[in-house]
Copies of this chain bind each other. A is one copy, B any other.
Amino acid sequence: MTEAVNSARKRVVIVGMGFGGMHAAKSLAGSHLEVILVDRTNYHLFQPLLYQVATAGLEKESIAYPVRALARSWYHMTFQMRQVTGLDLSAKKILTDSGELGYDYLILAGGSVTNYFGNAGVERHAFDLKRLPDAERLRNSILTTFEQAARETDPTRRRERLTFVVVGGGPTGVEFAGALAELIRYVFRKDYPSLNLSETRVLLLEAAPALLGAMPERLRRYAEKRLRSMGVEVRCNTLVADATPGEVRLGSGETIATQTLFWSAGVKAAPLAGLVPGEKGAGGRVVVTPELTLPGHDEVYLVGDMACVLRHGKPLPMLAPVAMQEGRHAARSIIRQERGESAEPFCYIDKGSMATIGRKSAVAVSFGLSFAGFTAWLVWLFLHLYYLIGFRNRIVVLLNWAWYYWFHERQVRLITSDGAGAADKRGI
């Protein structure tokens, strides 16, 4: 099936419905261009809260929103659930698992995948958090290891099940380690009265000398101190060399017996970037012009984690705010091009970054100011609710947070794998 471009109206195809693609689409609403949204899933995923799904704090449905519901609220937009398999830039069409699709303008926003840096042992045995099923799989595994530990009489095997190794001291690793420590401290202590939870270990390993490397030193120290007070063993300057079932081996040669290895130590451009010709930057990101277009193709834009955009000689970080601003810029540039104007270079406005550590504390830096503690946590909470799509989702998430805040309860602690379980990384 080939869908030719309708000559009456120019067609924009947007591939990827993450933050970059979605904000590009939103900015094109009402532009009188035909917009086709393409993704291999049928929902926009709010990735920053995946770690809360993995730690039984939220149901996975509350952080996803159907693309079709978005598309129908924006004029002239349609959605096609497809997987992109190739690009034909000269013929201006994308190749997909169900036919070709022509375009006048193309916005590629395929995002990123976990980077294991070629470590096959880690890739095989570690959990990661990029997609919605990842989070449910990790939650099922955490709950299952506790159920197994509760009936395990051998102390060595029990300790192995109660040891959780988190690799990567960036925001995801810090947030996940904090949420897991709290899950154990507040919820599992009540749920598993027969278990001695002092046998539980949560280790947070970071290769660099400090956690949250992009943050000011005061916040880095605060985060580390808070995590330690919650019982997380923070180890900086620590590399992971390999993983086997039941064991993680560090660069120092030390081994840690564990059933749960969580990897958040790196991301790289999604495989879609490999289909794009031209120069690649670190992590396989496509080097783009200052206008965010593919060199030589000013009708092809790349936004978000896939695009390598330099600022002061360094690539912009792979973060949601960057993707959102780039998506909006690409949309506005297309509208300018349609008016016969030339595209302008992209200018990133760094509004800051943040990470939550626990029930009442977070760290945030914004326009040169840094916050830590309860205020930062409140800001984190409202910003995340604001950016979450869908009013119903916001209510459900707020309800879950209120429940947890007041009652120390996380109600989504369900083991929902059905035993057929080939999809589960540890066969649980």
A residues apposed to B, CB below 8 Å: 1, 41-43, 59-62, 64-66, 68-69, 72, 78, 80-82, 98-99, 131-134, 136, 143, 147, 150-151, 153, 190-194, 390, 392-393, 395-396, 399-400, 403, 409, 411-418, 420-423
Contacts and interface: CB of A to CB of B under 8 A. Distances in A.
Contacts of A42: 143, 147, 413-415
B395 A151 contact: no
A129 B76 CA distance: 38
A72 B143 contact: no
Query: How many copies of the polypeptide does the oligomer hold?
Result: 2
Contact of A150 (B59, B62, B80): B80
B423 A194 contact: no
Contacts of A193: 72, 78
Contacts of A64: 414, 416
Contacts of A411: 61, 65-66, 69, 390, 392-393
Nearest to A62: B59
Contacts of A399: 392, 395-396
Contacts of A82: 151
Contacts of A62: 59
Contacts of A403: 392
Nearest to A153: B1
A384 B238 CA distance: 53
A1 B423 contact: no
A82 B148 CA distance: 10
Contacts of A65: 411
A142 to B, nearest CB: 12
Contacts of A414: 41-43, 61, 64, 66, 132
Contacts of A418: 131-134, 423
A78 B423 CA distance: 30
A408 to B, nearest CB: 12
A380 to B, nearest CB: 22
Contacts of A69: 191, 409, 411, 413
Nearest to A191: B68
A64 B99 CA distance: 41
A348 to B, nearest CB: 31
Contacts of A98: 151
A396 to B, nearest CB: 6
A72 B150 CA distance: 15
B72 A191 contact: yes
Contact of A417 (B1, B133, B395, B412): B133
8 contacts: A41-B415, A42-B143, A59-B61, A66-B413, A66-B414, A81-B147, A132-B416, A390-B411
A61 B192 CA distance: 21
Contacts of A59: 59-62
Nearest to A132: B416
A191 B151 contact: no
A393 B400 CA distance: 10
In the A-B complex, the 6 residue pairs with the closest CB atoms: A133-B418, A422-B422, A59-B61, A420-B423, A68-B191, A81-B147
Nearest to A42: B415
A62 B392 CA distance: 14
A410 to B, nearest CB: 9
A360 to B, nearest CB: 20
A1 B154 CA distance: 10
